[in-house]
Chains A and B, each alone.
Chain A
Amino acid sequence: MAMVEHLPSVEAPDAIWEAIEAELRAPRPTRAPPVRSWRLAVAATALVALAGFATWRLAHPPGTWEVRRLEGSPAVGARSISGVGQVGIGEWIETDSGSRAMITIGKIGSVEVAPHTRLRVLATRPGEHRLALARGEIRATISAPPRLFFVDTPSGTAVDLGCEYALNTDEDGFGLLRVTKGWVSFQWNGLESLVPAGASCPTRPQIGPGLPYFDDAAGPMKEALARFGLEKVERRALDVILAESRVRDTLTLWHLLFRVDRSERARVYDRIAALTPIPVGVSREKALALDPETMTHWREELAWTW
C-alpha cells in the first residue's frame, strides 16, 4: 500500500472518455429470463391461431354455406365454382345440363343439386335452414331434430321431419317429392301431406301437395291418383283408388278423407274400415266431420300399418 501511494498520477487520454461515453449511450442487450420466453411463445402461438382463424373466416363468412362442385361448372350468382365456394342468403345456385353440386347445410346435413336446377338460399340460421327450389331436383340428407330444414317450391314447402328425400319441381310448380328415409311434411296454404319413407307425393301449382302414395302401390291406383282432381268427374278415379287400395294404402286413403266432399268421404271411411280395424277412440261421426283430434289419433294408429 505504501508503494501505491508513491506511484505518479497520469492523466487519462481523451479517447478513453469518448469510448466510455459511447458505451454508456449504446443500448444494452439484455437476456430475457425464462418466464418471459414462455409468455412470448404463448403469444406467438395465439397470434398464429388467430391468423389461421381469420383466414378460415374469410373463406367461410358467417351465414354462408359451403358449395362443392361435383361435376361441370355449377354457379353461385355470377361466379362459377371450380372446387369449393360459399353461398350466402339471397344468392342463387344454378347448374346446367352437365353440372352437379353439393351444399353443406350448416351442421345438419347436405343437399345434392342435380343438373338443370336453380335454387336460392333464404335462411341460414341455426333454427331455420331454408332453400327455395325454383326448378330442377335436389336430394336432401338431413340429420337433425325435425323442423329445422325447409325447402320452398312454387307449390308448397317441404318440412323436414328427419329424413332423406328427393324433390323436383318445374318452374310452374309441378313436381314430385320422394322420401327414402324418415318422413317429410309437405305443406301449402293449410293443406298438408305426410310422406313417409317408400312413398312419394306429387305437387301441383295452386293445389299444393297431392295425395301421397307408396311407390309399390298398384299401377291402376297410381294412374287414378294422377288423374284425381284433374277430371271433371272424379268419381271414376275415386272408384279405382278405393278398389285397388291395400292395407298399406291407408296412407293415401287417410289423406283422401280431406280431399273429398262428405258423401264421398263415407265411401273412403268404409274402405279403410274394411282394410283395417277402426281404432278405439275413432268414431265414424267424428271422422266424417274431420274432427282434428280424431283424425290425428287415427293417423297415428294407421301409421302402424304403413
Chain B
Amino acid sequence: MWQVGLVTSAVATMALGQAFTFTIGSPVAAQDSRSKLAAFVFRIEGCAEPASAHVDGTAEGLVQGARTSVALKLMPMSKPGVYAVYPSWPAGGDWVVNLNGMCAGARAGALIPIGPGGFIRASSKFFPRPATAPEIDTALHTLSQGRHP
C-alpha cells in the first residue's frame, strides 16, 4: 500500500514539478472543428487537474495612440485544458492577447502579439505570473513599431 502512495505522490509531484504554463498553437492543434475561426488556441501545462484550472484573458490594444482593453471569452475545446481564442477585438490598431491562469495556487501568464498573418509565435512571451502593465505596454510598443520577426 505504501508503494502505491509513493507512486501517486511521485506522479503528482511530477505533474506539479513541471512549471504551470501555456503552450500556444494554430487552430489545427486543438483537433476541434470549433476552433476553425480562432486566432489561436492554447493549452495549459503543468497542472495536475486541467479541468480545475482558472484561465482568463484580455486583448490589449493600441488604437490610434490610445490604449484600450477588451475582455475575451476563452472557449474550452473538446480536450481538457485546451482553449480557443477568437479575434473578438476590433479591426485596426495593434493588439496583444494577455492570458492569465491559476492552478492549485500556481500562476501563469502569457503575451501573444497578433500580426496581419495571425498570432506571432516568435514574439510571444510566457511568465510564471500575470504579465505586468509595463510588460504589456512594451509588447504593444514593439508590435506597433514593427519590431517583431
Contact = CB atoms under 8 A, between A and B. Distances in A.
B36 interface: yes
B36 A304 contact: no
Contacts of B37: 181-182
Nearest to A144: B33
Contacts of A182: 27-28, 33, 36-37
A178 B29 CA distance: 18
Contacts of B34: 162
A197 B31 CA distance: 13
B124 interface: no
A305 B25 contact: yes
A145 B25 contact: no
> Interface size class for chain A?
10 to 19
B118 to A, nearest CB: 8
A162 B37 CA distance: 9
Given A162-B36, A163-B36, A181-B36, A197 B27 contact: yes
Contact of B29 (A161, A162, A304): A304
Contact of A304 (B23, B33, B117, B118): B23
B36 A306 contact: no
Contacts of B31: 300, 303
A306 B33 contact: no
A304 B43 contact: yes
A183 interface: yes
B50 to A, nearest CB: 15
A162 B33 contact: yes
A196 interface: yes
A161 B28 CA distance: 10
A67 to B, nearest CB: 25
Contacts of B144: none
Nearest to B31: A300
A301 B40 CA distance: 15
Contacts of B26: 196-198, 303, 306
> Which 7 pairs between the two chains have the least Cβ-Cβ distance?
A162-B33, A182-B36, A196-B28, A304-B25, A162-B36, A303-B29, A183-B28
15 contacts: A146-B33, A161-B33, A162-B33, A162-B34, A181-B37, A182-B28, A182-B33, A182-B37, A183-B28, A194-B28, A196-B28, A197-B26, A198-B117, A300-B29, A303-B28
Interface of B: 23-29, 31, 33-34, 36-37, 43, 117-118
